[in-house]
Amino acid sequence: MTENRTIALLGQPNSGKSSIFNSLTGMHQHVGNWPGKTVEKKEGTFVHNDVTYTIADLPGSYALSANSDEEIVTRDYIVKEDVDMVCILADASQLERSLYMLADFAGLKTPAMLVLTMGDVAKVKGKVVDTKALSAKLGIEVCEVIAFDKKTFEPFYAAVENTIKNGSCLQADALYSYFTSSDIASEYAAALAMAEKMEDGRYTKEWIAAKILEEDELIVRRVKIKELGDIPSSEKTTLAVSDARFTWIGKLLEGCVENEKKPSELLTKFDKRAIAPGSGTAISIVMMIVALLGSMLVAIPFMGLGGATPSILNPVVDAICNGLGVSAEIAHFIKATLVTSLGWVISMVGFIFGMSFVFGILEEVGYMARVSYVFDRSMSKIGLQGKAIMPMIMGFGCTMGSTAGSKVIDSYGQRILTIAVAWAIPCGATFVVIPTLANAFFGGGGGMLVMLFIFLIMFLHVLVTAKIFGRKLNPVENRTGIIMELPPYHKPRWGFIFKNSLMRMWDVFKKAFSIEVIVCIIFFFLSYSSAGIESSILYKIGTAIEPVSRFFGMGWETFMSFFAAMISKEAVLGVLSAIFANSGSIVDSTTGLAATSDNVAQIVAASISKAEALAFIIAVTFNIPCLQAVVSTYNETHSAKWTAKIGGYYILTALILSAVVYHVAALFM
């Protein structure tokens, strides 16, 4: 009978946790949310020597304090009795800074081992780590792995088996001796007396005492509940706790690490410019634009295949249906739903692959941390971290790309907030459709003013959206300054990046195709008409609610186009053409099965007022970006609730903006 074990991966951001997790679990992984928390939960399985291991990739954090949901979830998980052991990961290329998590873990009773990652980078930098000497000092297994090379994992498997067999826990006596011999010895003694009355499970009294001195929110709450007295902590004690941990780390590494090379002068000079306020911002923006173009370049073959899918498969569908005697209506249904969905999803995953590959390179070489550092101060003003600038810039190209790009953000709550904000940025498809309508209604000069007006609304929309969603996803009271390490630059591991990009693309494809098919089927039946547009359900709904849609500045024609824009921004001109120029049915115009009239913008301009046109333009611009963006958002958030909240919010704000613009514009146009 196969044994089952549960282990956890614990470490700071950029410590290689996700890389190790992906290498161990491969396709045997799933992502969701922790119950009751806005925090991503990643679990997977692997089998070794007839033992099945369930492995949890815990949220990346720098410590085990209760300063965020991520840290609370992480701490709660590793002290559960059903967790057999914890793998604490540290970057071998910069151990002095990446071992702080190990120091904060010291004192817990959960069996643990230390896994050194980035060994190849450490080797390039001339750093040699004596894992045996380090293991002897810590009293636990220490091994070194290279995430993308499974041949280096044998020591890891052996260390896991030994740790579970022996129940080895981290030796913390040396660490806590610094507390008793420091100038906060009396405060530590008082905290220790309190901790003795609180010790339970896998928390030791020494660990609890250190958290009392740090004023850990959850521990302090327990002190107050038990009425154990005043907390013996202050700014001095908090700093002293950190100093003790760093002193312990320094002593720990003595005789265990050798430095044989000096840092590259060229990279050092570049890094100074890359993180400077002025030059760093300029370099980051240029790099993001180049990365966006690079992502699109990588995605071109996939997007070309996706665009060609209907022309390739539709004749096959017709031939098969004709051969089987299936009606033309069923063939039409298959082409408008299954084939269209497949084409859209192929294009979508192609862009996901391009994004994952190009930005994976930037992350791998160590540059993305610099982007976060440079933009953190400005982005923090709206409740986001510096890395959020990348998905937001990506939004100008494709909202789907911006949601996928949010993967680089460590905090799950801030990732959702970034996606919600990025939806306010008009995508490339919008900048194809909207200028055409703006120029047709308002001429060249007027069209430019409309575009400037859109950018003004976009800026305000970003600020308002960040404020509204930030209240829940990143409350002001929980916001802190940036705490991060700048990883060393190193060569990208091409095979590893390519493999991870393929895995991500496949994962998205599996989830996206079924969702897109369902939505396309629903839209098909809403908009299908056998005897003109007037026979469709969508038309009947549109005309029935026209008294309401008129309040928002749209007649049934423009409101139906507004509805179709939720499926695809490119569908707007096609649906307007179907309605005003009788170029085909709504479903065919939306899915690309019908051609668009060449002069549709001029035809529409002659049919509706300028006030309605301006309201319609604003409504479409700030509506739900497209179906692919919705699917991508669900894929990143793993939450139907948050996807629905963001979608509902954008429909509502688009209608509100449309109403305000229409009623104001009607006074002057």
pLDDT tens digit sequence for 486-511: 667 777 878 778 887 888 788 778 77
The pLDDT score that the predictor gives to residue 343 is: 82
Share of the chain above pLDDT 90, in %: 15
Tell me how crowded residue 582 is: count the other CB atoms within 10 A of its CB. 11
Q: What is the mean pLDDT of residues 206-215?
A: 85
Measured CA to CA, the distance from residue 134 to residue 143 in angstroms comes to 10
Q: What is the mean pLDDT of residues 255-275?
A: 70
Task: Report which DSSP code applies to 128.
Answer: E
Q: What is the mean pLDDT of residues 3-29?
A: 82
The pLDDT score that the predictor gives to residue 621 is: 93
- In single-letter form, the type of residue at position 221 comes to R
Average the pLDDT over each of 119-133, 466-480, 579-593 and give the range with the smallest value: 579-593
The pLDDT score that the predictor gives to residue 267 is: 61
Alpha carbon distances (Å) from 95 to 12, 74, 147, 172? 12, 21, 17, 18
| Cβ–Cβ < 8 Å for 121, 130 | no
Q: Pick the more confident residue, 181 or 611.
A: 611
Phi (first) and psi of residue 448, to 5 degrees: -65, -40
The pLDDT score that the predictor gives to residue 33 is: 67
The pLDDT score that the predictor gives to residue 157 is: 92
| Cβ–Cβ < 8 Å for 607, 580 | yes
Q: Pick the more confident residue, 437 or 154.
A: 154
Closest CA to 600 of 565, 568, 558: 558
CB neighbour burial string for 75-94, b if at least 16 within 10 angstroms, e if fewer = bebbbeeebbbbbbbbbbbb
Measured CA to CA, the distance from residue 183 to residue 189 in angstroms comes to 11
The pLDDT score that the predictor gives to residue 648 is: 95
Helix (H) or strand (E) holding 56: strand 51-57
Find residue 142's DSSP bridge partners. Answer: 114
Task: Report which DSSP code applies to 496.
Answer: H
The pLDDT score that the predictor gives to residue 481 is: 52
Radius of gyration over every alpha carbon of the chain, rounded to an integer in angstroms: 29
Query: From the centroid of its chain, how far is CA 251?
Result: 38
Alpha carbon distances (Å) from 239 to 72, 179, 210, 357, 561? 21, 12, 11, 41, 60
Say yes or no to pLDDT of 72 above 90.
no
> To the nearest 10°, the Cα dihedral for 257, 258, 262, 267?
-30
Task: Report which DSSP code applies to 626.
Answer: -
Alpha-carbon torsion (19, 25, 27, 33), positive or negative = negative
The pLDDT score that the predictor gives to residue 91 is: 86
| Cβ–Cβ < 8 Å for 423, 399 | yes
Q: Pick the more confident residue, 498 or 480.
A: 498
pLDDT band at 588 (very low <50, low <70, confident <90, very high): low
β-strand 112-117 against 142-144: which pairing, if any?
parallel
Closest CA to 83 of 26, 20, 167: 167
Alpha-carbon torsion (249, 255, 256, 258), positive or negative = positive
Phi (first) and psi of residue 536, to 5 degrees: -80, 150
pLDDT tens-digit series, residues 222-236: 777 676 677 766 667
Measured CA to CA, the distance from residue 576 to residue 561 in angstroms comes to 6
Measured CA to CA, the distance from residue 397 to residue 355 in angstroms comes to 12
Average the pLDDT over each of 16-25, 63-72, 620-629 and give the range with the smallest value: 63-72
Level-2 CATH architecture, domain 3-171 = 3-Layer(aba) Sandwich (3.40)
The pLDDT score that the predictor gives to residue 456 is: 94
Q: What is the mean pLDDT of residues 438-450?
A: 83
pLDDT band at 600 (very low <50, low <70, confident <90, very high): low
| Cβ–Cβ < 8 Å for 388, 424 | no
Measured CA to CA, the distance from residue 277 to residue 372 in angstroms comes to 12
Query: From the centroid of its chain, how far is CA 483?
Result: 19
Average the pLDDT over each of 55-69, 162-176, 259-273, 651-665 and give the range with the smallest value: 259-273
Task: Report which DSSP code applies to 1.
Answer: -
Tell me how crowded residue 217 is: count the other CB atoms within 10 A of its CB. 12
Most confident residue range from 131-145, 227-241, 287-301: 131-145
The pLDDT score that the predictor gives to residue 517 is: 79
Task: Report which DSSP code applies to 61.
Answer: -
Longest dimension (CA), the chain: 90
Go through the chain and tell me how many residues it has.
669
- In single-letter form, the type of residue at position 193 comes to A
Helix or strand or coil: residue 340? Answer: helix
Measured CA to CA, the distance from residue 98 to residue 15 in angstroms comes to 8
Tell me how crowded residue 635 is: count the other CB atoms within 10 A of its CB. 24
| Cβ–Cβ < 8 Å for 517, 340 | no
CATH topology identical between 3-171 and 174-259: no
Closest CA to 144 of 177, 165, 118: 118
The pLDDT score that the predictor gives to residue 428 is: 75
Share of the chain above pLDDT 70, in %: 88
- Average pLDDT along the chain: 81
Query: From the centroid of its chain, how far is CA 490?
Result: 24
Reading the block at residue 172, the tokens are 């913390």
| Cβ–Cβ < 8 Å for 628, 565 | no
> To the nearest 10°, the Cα dihedral for 630, 633, 634, 637?
-160
Measured CA to CA, the distance from residue 295 to residue 285 in angstroms comes to 15
Question: Which residues contact residue 54 at a Cβ distance below 8 angstroms, ignoring those fewer than 6 apart?
Answer: 4, 5, 6, 7, 43, 44, 45
| Cβ–Cβ < 8 Å for 110, 141 | no
pLDDT tens-digit series, residues 391-413: 888 777 778 878 877 877 777 78
Closest CA to 370 of 469, 475, 264, 485: 485
pLDDT tens-digit series, residues 308-364: 888 898 899 889 988 888 888 888 788 878 888 888 788 878 877 887 888 888 877
| Cβ–Cβ < 8 Å for 63, 27 | no
Domain ranges across the chain: 3-171, 174-259
First-residue to last-residue Cα distance in the chain:
79
Say yes or no to pLDDT of 565 above 70.
yes
pLDDT band at 265 (very low <50, low <70, confident <90, very high): low
Instruction: Tell how many helices (H) and how many strands (E) occur in the chain.
Output: 31, 9
Q: Pick the more confident residue, 199 or 60.
A: 60
The pLDDT score that the predictor gives to residue 329 is: 82
pLDDT band at 115 (very low <50, low <70, confident <90, very high): very high
Q: What is the mean pLDDT of residues 557-562?
A: 84
Level-2 CATH architecture, domain 174-259 = Orthogonal Bundle (1.10)
Say yes or no to pLDDT of 464 above 80.
yes
Q: What is the mean pLDDT of residues 71-91?
A: 84
pLDDT band at 376 (very low <50, low <70, confident <90, very high): confident
Measured CA to CA, the distance from residue 31 to residue 511 in angstroms comes to 12
Closest CA to 497 of 59, 22, 10, 27: 22
| Cβ–Cβ < 8 Å for 590, 571 | yes
Say yes or no to pLDDT of 656 above 80.
yes
Measured CA to CA, the distance from residue 55 to residue 96 in angstroms comes to 27
